[in-house]
Structure formats: structure tokens, C-alpha cells
Amino acid sequence: MKSYDPDLILYIGFKAHKAHDKCMGNYNSTMMAAFGGIDGFEDQIPENRMVSFVNPDTGVTVTAEVPLCDLQRELDNVRKYIFYSADFLYYILFKRYHAEKGDG
């Protein structure tokens, strides 16, 4: 069985949680604007997830997509991103450097 660095697991979880929180904020804002509430309106979201509503401040009709927030999907996205990013490479090099020095 593969062993993963606990710091790496925490980092992936933290990044995914932040992305999920941001998605939920967008979801809540869109639902409030489109339906006047957050709960009990899920069955009114069209299949294409696009909703239209009138902005009360400007009177302009706005069309927005209701985001689909899924923590597992965010974990997968972060995991895929991190293994191909420069940040991850720096993290690995940093860990190896300190492991070789004996202080990490």
C-alpha cells in the first residue's frame, strides 16, 4: 500500500475545502437572487442549471449558472492540479531538502 505524506493530504483537503466553500457561497448567492431563498428550491433548478432573475438594484435581467458543489469533485480537481503544478514540485523539493539535512 502506498504511503502519502500527511502534510500533502492536509494540503489537498484544505485546498478542496476552500474551493468547496467558495462554490457554496456562489450557490447560496445565486439561489437567493433567483428564488429568494436557499433551501427547498433545488427541484426548480433547470437541467442546464441556468436561472434568470431581475437584479433589484438595477432592474436588469441576469442569467446565471447555479454551481454544482461537490466536495469529492473538488478533492479530485485539487489532486490532479497539485501533481502537475510547480507549487507541488517546490513542496517535494523542500521536504527532501529538509529530510536530507536532518531537520524535517
Residue range 59-69, pLDDT digits in tens: 999 999 999 99
Reduce the DSSP state of residue 53 to 3 states and report it: strand
If one counts the domains in the chain, the total is 1
User: Does pLDDT of 104 surpass 60?
Assistant: no
Is residue 103 domain-resident? no
Residue tagged 449558472 (cell numbers): 65
Is residue 51 domain-resident? yes
Residue 91's domain comprises 6-98
- b (16+ CB within 10 A) / e for 70-100: eeeebbeebeeebeeeeeeeebeeeeeeeee
Is residue 89 domain-resident? yes
Residue range 64-91, pLDDT digits in tens: 999 999 999 999 988 887 767 776 677 7
What's the mean per-residue pLDDT of the chain? 85
pTM attached to this predicted model: 0.70
Is residue 104 domain-resident? no
- Greater model confidence, 63 or 10: 63
Is residue 48 domain-resident? yes
Indicate left, alpha or beta for 45 from its phi (over 0: left) and psi (-120 to 50: alpha). Answer: beta
| pLDDT recorded at residue 25 | 96
Average pLDDT of the residues in 23-45:
92
Is residue 1 domain-resident? no
